[in-house]
Amino acid sequence: MKYIRKASLIIMLIMMLYITLEHIDNLDRNLFENGVYKELNENTKVCEKKLLLSKGLNNCFEKTFDLEVISRNNYCKTIAHRGYSNIAPENTIPAYKMAGKYGFYGAETDVYETKDGYYILMHDETVDRTTTGSGLISQLTLEEIKELTIDSGANVSKYPGLRVPILEEFFIVCKEYGMVPVIEIKNISNPIVFIDLIKKYGLEDKCIVISFNRKLLENIRNINKNINIQAIIDITIDNINYCKKNNFDIDTSYKVVTKELVSYAHSKDVKVNVWTIDDIEMRSKLIQYGVDFITTDLFTN
């Protein structure tokens, strides 16, 4: 009788083991049919696969996404649009210091020239939107602009008495935090003076100059062969070829980017910067496309 009980127990354990293995096999098959193994094989190492599979199907999808972003993000660099303008007023020293503290690869700014030849940081051609003053920057002196207070932007109340910075102040912050200055030229009168200022701060091959103004960028390239330049134009075959011809990279709206165009740009040794990305799904898609830079108000590295 004792042996019969033992035999029954063994048979029961064997049946339970069989049912368990059958269940695992079905789960394994489902994972394969849902493309999870394929995704894992493409994006993760063996040890990571084991970790993912041990956590179940839902966690698999979640973890796979995170790993993909982290691994590919080693190649895609993040640029703070007008500084970290999501938490401090755009184009101000606090916004750039925040960008540095949050570890951005680069910080983008907009440059206008004042009436007396200084370069200030401001997106608009007038001071109206972001300061207590009014008028065209080109018709105001630096002294007049420095008398104004910035009264608009994220968390502006935390920064009483905030003033409009000049380009040199931006360079100092970028060097302090090891960020690449990304300088969008809105309006300057003398490219040689502009380039000399970049050289003065040792940033000739450590900055990126961008603009919508193709003729200005071509002029800068003719003067200097070392400065990194990105033309702000839609990414198309013709525009990629134009950038290749002039030794530019391309800075484009995300709305016209495709994986095929990014691949074509890379085949011509043209890097792709995409603006302005504040949506996580779009960010993930662009990283999958292989873009080199993402300009954002929101995401850090």
Q: What is the total residue count of the chain?
A: 301
The set of catalytic residues is: 81, 123
- What are the tokens at 159? 């920064």
